[in-house]
Structure 1
Amino acid sequence: MGLISLLSSNPTAFVIIAAALVLSLAFHEFAHAYTADRLGDPTPRRYGRVTLNPIKHLDPFGTLLILLVGFGFARPVPINPNNLGRWGTMWVSAAGPLSNLLIAVVCAVLLKVLPLTSLTYTILMTVLSINVVLAVFNLIPIPLLDGSRILGAIVPSLGRALNQFEAQPFSFLIVMGFILLFQGQIGGIIRTVQAWVIGFIGV
């Protein structure tokens, strides 16, 4: 179910979740861009992606999917692997999920140390949960996701095969179809990890 269904039934929840998603996706893509820039690849800066401005990172179609079906994506950050090398490319890929884990940790600390109202508790728990979901989902080793690029850097032969697949015209549609086909199983994995994390930090 998409976010749009909350707009009339629970507008406060809609605003909180939408804002958390937009800012978390933007921070995820900024982390990719910033890491590539720091490791010597000027490509993200040339495209104006080394910024926290969400407008630079949101994809219109991906955002529409989030609103309508509850699943979507931001615009991938363009990089040039030739400027980064094997391990630089791996760290750029890992930077996105790691940034989401960082946000989740900050929220967990704030939940522990701040005097909380019901609203601040809801906001922090929403941001924490969304960022755990983004981190876990993006670490799944399927093409176009960060997990596959991390794995491809560790196993170069697999990385070359994944790059060839991603270069195909219909690779995006194939991956989207795979995710939708197995969304129950993927969702189950994400919910399990999410529940474990929340139980571990005890909030």
Structure 2
Amino acid sequence: MGERLDENSEQLVFGQSALDEIRDRLRVDIGQLIVDELNQILRKYRPVILAVPTHSKLGPEHVDVSKQAQWVQNSIINTAEKLRDALVNEAHMLRGIMSPDTDKLIDTATYIPMLNKLIEEADMAFVDLDQQAALGIRNSEQIKLEIIKDLWSVFETHFEDSFHARGQNNADQAIRVAFAEVYGQSESLASLLKEMRKSS
């Protein structure tokens, strides 16, 4: 799944076996334009999957969004604020008779603005995660939906009637095969595919 072009390339491409199965399921020709668009989807989502806690085996262990928000608040924002405040108000505690200029060596004038920037950006991340939690948005379901939307669009645009003419089972299975290439593992996707059929 998600093969590389060669040993030295970081550029991901759809595996040939997946392309062959999609072709056989839908009985269509898969030209280079379609391959390019599928590869674009793979490259768009794979970095997200590798970075965000979802149920994909490729990425970090799944964590509920509300717990992610709590971690950002407790481990990053609170800790950085405590360190910043200590450097602002209590840097003299670093000093001793033998090293009266330790706080200058540590260069608190440089680190305090950096901590302020970290706190500001972590706060934005917290707000985003907190809003997701409040709206009931789950990382795993959201990324699955976005991937399926993009794949569905490519298939409908390029395969037109052939995408649906081979029957719902073949259309859904073609999406599942393509999805597995992007997400890194197979999923049932039944409810998400049902939603796509309703909206298309």
Instruction: Give me the TM-score of the superposition, normalised by structure 2.
Output: 0.28
Larger radius of gyration between Structure 1 and Structure 2? 2
Structure 1 or 2: more helix by fraction: 1
Higher RCO (C-alpha under 8 Å, 6+ residues apart)? 2
TM (norm. structure 1) is 0.28
